[in-house]
Amino acid sequence: MVILIWAVVIPVQSQTSNKYNDSIIRKIHDLADRRDAASLLPYLKSADPNYRGEALFCLGSVQEIGIADTIFTAMQVEQERVRMIGAWALGQTGHASAVPVLKKVLETETSPLVKGMCYEALGKCGTEEDLNFIAAIDCPLQESEGQAMGIFRFGIRGITSVAGNLRILKLINTGTSTAGMIYASYFLGRYAGMDWLQTVPAEIDAVFEKERDQEIRSNLIKAVIRAKDEEAWPMVKGILESDADYQIKVNILNSMVLIPWNKASKTVYGLVEGADPNLSVAGAEAVQRHAVYTDLPALLNCIDKTTNWRSRSLLLGKALELVMGKPALVKKVEKMIFESVNRTADPYIKAWYLKALMTDPGQYAYVEIQHNSPNGPIVFTAALETLTEMRKSPNFAEASKTATAAGVNLEEEYLRIFKKAIQSGDVSAVALSAQVIRDPKLNFREKIKETGFLEEALTKVNMPSKIEAFVEINQAIAWLRGKPPLQVGTPIYNHPINWEVVRRLAPKQKVLIKTSKGDFVVQLNVTWCPGTCAAFVELAESGFYRNHTIHRVVPNFVMQDGCPRGDGWGAPDFTVRSEFSPTPFMEGTLGMASSGKDTEGSQWYVTHSATPHLDARYTNFGFVIEGMEVVHKLEMGDIIKSIELVK
């Protein structure tokens, strides 16, 4: 894969030896880890360009506002890589004060790669005027990658223009780097305005037909559907029924809102019943979004034929949603759900079938029993997720009337459950219940006059490992008191970088990940992410990841592991600082999950495809170099047997 900008910028220093043997570089990263921007600034004046570059890079994670002119001064060196990192650091502030400085750089800069980085940075902090400024530039190949990325960054921020759209279309037609093509196609498929796309359907069709790269085609098919609307159906039907890569099919299924469901449903049900787990789940999600009551016979038939438990649970949930208000049919579907919950001992399967009940608030008692049962955190959390969705369901009012006729105050029953969950101190129970309590549509402010139970729970959700619960309780208290949402900060500095571990890692350290479906190998990005790599290796060597269950798989997005609870709410007793970098999230990227900046812990993921909306927002600390086909096969419930350093 040709990635022009990033291939040049990565080796600020040689990668043949561990750069962290240099005590000054370690000091720079320690200061960044402490988010001490003031102490980093003197290094921007260093006579050694390597130290300048390192400090500029670290400021990209600190994201200090108000130092744009200082960064500009630090960029006045001969070394191209340092100037590129400086431009990236300016963009990372995300602040308008960086715009005039970036344009000042562009006035005199001669390096196409530095200019490309400036375009990308402008996309993070500029206005529509700045978008049109970069869109008007006819770039050579080396700049065009950054131009595509810059227009894409504007798109993420909801800023688009006809000029930007036309420039992207021209780049795809005339060519840019592979990475540039991925960003351009991603932009067309997700951010270019549909009104504009529908003025150029033939052009969009043409670029799709001529493109051979499967990942780029997967992005472009979304643009084709948005440009042609239901006229795209014959083409996409042919793709869905072909032996094409699953990724393009998933993107079609995720874009089904523009295709008449009565035309597509038979094909989609066929994919749900098929053997490919990614397509089965993505198809079931499409059914969940688009099926209507007249689908019921086909839907029930599909439930009988579908063997994938995730898909079947989604279908049952949709069936229940469609039959609500028809007692005999509700009883039939709920009997199937109860049987599915009760017949399995697997907590993931039980949890997903349990969530199929979320459209019937009247079944709260059954779900509460599952919540209180000794099934472990996976079912415990899924049951509470189900209860929160039941309370928010549009069917709640009708269920409440029925309960009242039977002498039950359904509102009070749900409030009792949520209060008890908050008092438990469990991170998922606290966070989920506090979210519901502060939902303005549910009007709990009228029913909760005393917040003592929330204040008591606050003492049980100590930071940093329970930061999500800590934040949600604070927000719930503020809302109940009629005060503005609190600005809760990130966890305090609590886990210094283990330099002993970092210094024994090779700059391109390989890690073998053994799974129940086969093995794959990742190369760690030690050069950019020393703290993350050290924490990951420490946990791996302690056996933390041994026999872990994969708790999250989103087809054509990610597979995720590393939760000690198995429900996605678990974390070690420390947090790691975010370590952002210019490295793009491509297929096979190893990233750290987080609930906000500087909240990373033990959960990691591997991307199924390019996910550029994650760039420099999540820590990118490695990539798969062998066994990507294994990653694509992994499903929720599969096992990570071990993670080992390759010596």
CATH code of the domain in which 514 resides: 2.40.100.10
Residues 222, 301 share a domain: no
Is residue 187 domain-resident? yes
Is residue 255 domain-resident? no
Model pLDDT, residue 1: 35
Model pLDDT, residue 14: 45
Model pLDDT, residue 16: 62
| CA–CA dist 246, 251 (Å, integer) | 9
Kindly report the pTM of this predicted structure. 0.95
**Residue 511 near residue 590 (C-beta atoms within 8 A):** no
Residues 6+ away with beta carbon under 8 Å from 91: 98, 102, 117, 120, 121, 122, 123, 124, 125, 153
Residues 361, 419 share a domain: no
| CA–CA dist 285, 310 (Å, integer) | 10
Residues 508, 453 share a domain: no
Residues 6+ away with beta carbon under 8 Å from 632: 246, 278, 608
Residues 148, 40 share a domain: yes
Domain count, the chain: 4
For residue 182 the two structure tokens come to 């991925």
626: region left, alpha or beta (phi > 0 left; psi from -120 to 50 alpha): beta
SS3 content of the chain, % helix, strand, coil (to 5): 60, 5, 35
Is residue 233 domain-resident? yes
Count Cα atoms within 13 angstroms, Cβ side, for 52.
24
Is residue 548 domain-resident? yes
Residues 546, 475 share a domain: no
Residues 159, 24 share a domain: yes
| CA–CA dist 99, 72 (Å, integer) | 11
| CA–CA dist 187, 202 (Å, integer) | 18
For residue 79 the two structure tokens come to 């070394």
Model pLDDT, residue 628: 98
Residues 6+ away with beta carbon under 8 Å from 267: 237, 240, 241
Is residue 570 domain-resident? yes
Instruction: Write the CATH number for 208.
Output: 1.25.10.10
Residues 209, 123 share a domain: yes
Model pLDDT, residue 524: 98
| CA–CA dist 223, 318 (Å, integer) | 28
Residue 138 burial (C-beta neighbours within 10 Å; 0-12, 13-18, 19+): exposed
Out of 198, 222, 237, pick the residue that ends a domain.
237
Is residue 402 domain-resident? no
| CA–CA dist 99, 125 (Å, integer) | 7
Helix (H) or strand (E) holding 549: strand 548-549
**Residue 576 near residue 204 (C-beta atoms within 8 A):** no
Phi, psi of 138 (to 5 degrees): -85, 105
Helix segments in 126-200, DSSP class H = 128-135, 141-156, 162-174, 178-190, 194-197
Residues 6+ away with beta carbon under 8 Å from 595: 467, 468
Model pLDDT, residue 487: 74
Residues 415, 366 share a domain: no
Model pLDDT, residue 12: 43
Model pLDDT, residue 3: 52
Is residue 270 domain-resident? no
Out of 489, 519, 538, pick the residue that ends a domain.
489
| DSSP secondary structure, 119-147, as one string | HHHHHHH--HHHHHHHHT----HHHHHHH
**Residue 501 near residue 538 (C-beta atoms within 8 A):** yes
- Burial string for 389-422 (b: 16+ CB within 10 Å, else e) reads bbbebebbeebbeebeeeeeebbebbbebbbebb
Residues 6+ away with beta carbon under 8 Å from 490: 467, 596, 597, 598, 599
Model pLDDT, residue 5: 53
Residues 160, 44 share a domain: yes
User: Which residue has 């400024």 as its token pair?
Assistant: 133
For residue 409 the two structure tokens come to 């105050």
Containing domain of residue 335, as a range? 290-377
Residues 6+ away with beta carbon under 8 Å from 585: 591, 607, 610, 611, 612, 614, 615, 618, 620
325: region left, alpha or beta (phi > 0 left; psi from -120 to 50 alpha): left
| DSSP secondary structure, 589-635, as one string | EEEE--SSTT-B-S-EEEESS--GGGTTTS-EEEEEEE-HHHHHH--
Residues 482, 503 share a domain: no
Out of 432, 458, 489, pick the residue that ends a domain.
489
Residues 518, 483 share a domain: no
- Burial string for 57-95 (b: 16+ CB within 10 Å, else e) reads bbbbbbbbeebbebbbebbeeeebbbbbbbbbbbbbbeb
Phi, psi of 77 (to 5 degrees): -135, 165
Cα dist from 329 to 311, 323, 336, 389, whole Å: 20, 6, 11, 21
Model pLDDT, residue 132: 98
Is residue 390 domain-resident? no
Helix (H) or strand (E) holding 378: helix 377-392
Q: How many CB atoms lie within 10 A of CB 214?
A: 13
Model pLDDT, residue 253: 97
Helix (H) or strand (E) holding 558: strand 558-561
**Residue 318 near residue 606 (C-beta atoms within 8 A):** no
Cα 174 to chain centroid, rounded:
31
Model pLDDT, residue 96: 97
Residue 587 burial (C-beta neighbours within 10 Å; 0-12, 13-18, 19+): buried
Mean pLDDT by 10 residues, the chain (647 residues): 50 66 98 98 97 98 97 97 98 98 98 97 98 97 96 98 98 94 98 96 96 96 96 96 95 95 97 97 98 97 98 98 97 98 97 98 98 94 98 97 97 96 94 95 91 90 82 92 80 94 96 98 97 98 97 98 96 95 97 95 98 97 98 97 96
Q: Please tell me what DSSP assigns to residue 576.
A: B
Residues 515, 455 share a domain: no
